Amino acid sequence: MTIKTSIQNLRQWLDSQIVGQPHLIDRLLIALIADGHLLVEGAPGLAKTKAIKTLADGIEGDFHRVQFTPDLLPSDVTGTDIYRPESGTFEFQSGPIFHNLVLADEINRAPAKVQSALLEAMAERQISVGRSTYKLPELFLVMATQNPIEQEGTYPLPEAQLDRFLMHVKVDFPNAEAEREILRLSRAESRHTEVAKLEHRVLQSELFSARAEALDIHMADAVEEYIVQLTQATRQPEVYSADLRRWLEFGVSPRATISLDRCSRAHAWMKGNDYVSPDDVRAVVHDVFRHRLILTFEAEAQGQTADKIIDEILNCVPIA
Ligand SMILES: Nc1ncnc2c1ncn2[C@@H]1O[C@H](COP(=O)(O)OP(=O)(O)OP(=O)(O)O)[C@@H](O)[C@H]1O
Ligand SMILES: [Mg+2]
């Protein structure tokens, strides 16, 4: 079985377990292949936890959930040195972040110092305690969740930290047909019957080969230029349209450009193509830019959203 087939099988299986949320599943797989982290926003009960848990069942790797609360400490996430009286020495006790898949639930419920401990670890892929540094596993994906309906008693993530997420994904309610299917599935699960099994757990070595293949996919100069121009349009909106100039306060960072390249490649790879097309770029740009744009006061007052602004950018920026 090729790597592509085994990842396609994984996707099919995930689609059968998490009904009517193909976008979330697609983005989880892109994050795995593009080697980045996801921020997921959605109301309670939309299978966010189930999605990453099921993914952990489908690949070779372990899973851990951290509930973010106001009293959480940075060391509760990263780990800390513990004194061992037997030997009279300190020993590092690794925290819950030392897992392959980490669910950081309700990340905006913990204060800034805890958020920044997590986000720094996500970017650096290591933890420093005292004079030692500890490497996080090579397969390391954080899915952080945010609840859009409750704002009270929360600590919104600063823009600079949001930049560390490869993508910001929004999860919506399933439609009526999916809702019926969810009921059927949930009953079957409670009865422990007819739940589909995955034949082959995807190995870490397969994921790493997939990453290498995606990095090697051909990208024409015109597509690369398109990615650069999309970024430029967020920084020099006046060149493109008067509306954009009024709506955009700040554009996206080079990290966004790199993320757009990585995600477009992963998207093309999963389609089975050996080249990246402008359609791959357009398919991922909303999730890559959404959390990185800073809107003007005027845009907020007019009810403009980052998504509408990205639509406008796509309208304005031509493909060479
Ligand atoms: N699309 C779906 N497919 C299958 N099961 C679903 C789906 N949506 C919800 N469920 C079921 O609904 C329940 C809630 O899911 P889950 O705990 O993953 O939600 P959540 O998004 O993590 O919620 P919270 O924000 O409260 O943590 C689970 O029992 C799950 O099986
Ligand atoms: Mg949950």
- The CATH number linked to 305 is 1.10.8.80
Contact 248, 293 (CB under 8 A): yes
pLDDT band at 304 (very low <50, low <70, confident <90, very high): very high
Report which of residues 48 and 188 the model is more confident about: 48
Q: Are residues 50 and 145 in the same domain?
A: yes
Cα–Cα distances in Å, from 241 out to 15, 222, 305, 315? 40, 22, 16, 10
Q: Are residues 118 and 54 in the same domain?
A: yes
Q: Are residues 234 and 278 in the same domain?
A: yes
Q: Are residues 169 and 298 in the same domain?
A: no
Contact 177, 20 (CB under 8 A): yes
N- to C-terminal Cα distance for the chain?
38
Domain CATH for 14? 3.40.50.300
207 inside domain: no
Q: Are residues 24 and 77 in the same domain?
A: yes
The per-residue pLDDT for 199 is 81
Q: Are residues 9 and 49 in the same domain?
A: yes
Q: Are residues 71 and 10 in the same domain?
A: yes
The per-residue pLDDT for 1 is 77
pLDDT band at 313 (very low <50, low <70, confident <90, very high): very high
In tens, the pLDDT along 175-188 reads 999 899 899 888 88
Ligand 1 site, residue 22, Cβ cutoff 6 A: no
Q: Are residues 231 and 308 in the same domain?
A: yes
Cα–Cα distances in Å, from 239 out to 233, 234, 298? 7, 10, 19
Q: Are residues 308 and 179 in the same domain?
A: no
> What phi and psi, each to the nearest 5 degrees, are found at residue 146?
-135, 140
The C-alpha atoms of residue 35 and residue 84 are separated, in whole angstroms, by 36
The radius of gyration of the chain's CA atoms, rounded to the nearest angstrom, is 21
The residue among 174, 190, 206 that closes a domain is 190
83 inside domain: yes
Count of domains observed in the chain: 2
Q: Please check the confidence at residue 220 and state whether its pLDDT lies above 70.
A: yes
Q: Are residues 74 and 164 in the same domain?
A: yes
* Full-model pTM: 0.94
- Residue range 98-125: average pLDDT? 92
The C-alpha atoms of residue 156 and residue 107 are separated, in whole angstroms, by 9
> What phi and psi, each to the nearest 5 degrees, are found at residue 181?
-65, -35
The residue among 150, 175, 190 that closes a domain is 190
Residue 64 alpha carbon to ligand 1 centre in Å: 17
Among 36, 42, 5, which residue's Cα sits nearest to residue 23? 42
DSSP 236: -
Ligand 1 site, residue 174, Cβ cutoff 6 A: yes
Best probe residue, ligand 1, of 28, 49, 149 (max atoms within 8 Å of C-beta): 49
Q: Are residues 183 and 233 in the same domain?
A: no
How many C-beta neighbours within 10 Å does residue 318 have? 8
Q: Are residues 186 and 222 in the same domain?
A: no
Average pLDDT of every residue of the chain: 92
279 inside domain: yes
Among 297, 233, 224, 299, which residue's Cα sits nearest to residue 262? 224
Could you say which ligand is closest to the alpha carbon of residue 147? 1
Scan for tokens 């398109």, then name that residue: 226
Q: Which atom of ligand 1 is nearest to the CA of 178?
A: 1
Q: Please check the confidence at residue 90 and state whether its pLDDT lies above 90.
A: no
Residue 194 alpha carbon to ligand 1 centre in Å: 19
195 inside domain: no
Contact 44, 147 (CB under 8 A): yes
205 inside domain: no
152 inside domain: yes
The bridge status of strand 218-219 relative to strand 126-129 is unpaired
pLDDT band at 194 (very low <50, low <70, confident <90, very high): low
Q: Which atom of ligand 1 is nearest to the CA of 145?
A: 25
Let me know how long the chain is: 320
In tens, the pLDDT along 275-286 reads 999 999 999 999
The residue among 143, 171, 190 that closes a domain is 190
226 inside domain: yes
Among 151, 144, 149, which residue's Cα sits nearest to residue 165? 144
Residue 146 alpha carbon to ligand 1 centre in Å: 15
In tens, the pLDDT along 3-32 reads 889 999 999 999 999 999 999 999 999 999
Query: Domain of 163?
Result: 3-190
211 inside domain: no
Residue 49 alpha carbon to ligand 1 centre in Å: 7
Q: Give the ranges where the chain is alpha helix by DSSP (H).
A: 3-17, 22-34, 48-58, 74-78, 112-124, 159-162, 176-190, 204-216, 221-235, 242-247, 254-271, 278-289, 297-301, 306-316
- Residue range 166-170: average pLDDT? 96
